[in-house]
Amino acid sequence: MIQKPSTATAIPSYKKLVSHFRDRDPVMAQAIEGIGPFKLKRNRNYFQTLCRAIVAQQISTKAAETIHGRFCALFPRRRPSPSVTQAIPEEELRSVGLSRQKITYLKDLSLNFENKVIRPRRLIHQSNEEIVQGLTAVKGIGRWTAEMFLIFSLNRLNVLPADDLGVQKGIKKLYSLSEMPTRKVILEFGEQWEPFQTVAVWYCWRSLDEKIT
């Protein structure tokens, strides 16, 4: 088994990943060989990524894209920043379609960046759980959002979002289960996948949607 710390982001070769899963989980290894190499894009715009996640909560994808676009238009070069977010009056934020609750969340997020409670340069040195705890202390950010941040912004390789519907559906499909797996079952799969839970999660998603990157 390949050992990697929880902060690992360097992706092992496709050959090594296949070998690891052949030893630990032949079903996942078969899926990996059928789907092809693991690919994961990294988004280093941490503040902007978290803003987008807050904007998108509990609304349709189309509505989220529209409101997020209007929100970005309030900033120089359409790049949201903590300082400008703090300065924009609530009325102006409301005018782009944001609810009062989401404005509160965005203001709290920007304040955490401004006050250096969240320090982007420190994140790479923190463990997954330290980052989750830090992000979920921000109003409006739950564990799932923090886990997506770990995967898509920091490219952490050992993250298991056990409550993610896509992961549940992917496991059900790949392992031919008669019903959706419980959280307990997913965590048991996760033990087999360590220290590359993110890799297995990605293939669960990819089995449902080939556009996942």
**Residues with Cβ within 8 Å of residue 174, at least 6 apart in sequence:** 27, 28, 31, 203, 204, 207
d(CA 189, CA 133): 24
Q: Is 164 a catalytic residue?
A: yes
Which one is catalytic: 23, 163, 164, 209? 164
List the catalytic residues: 164
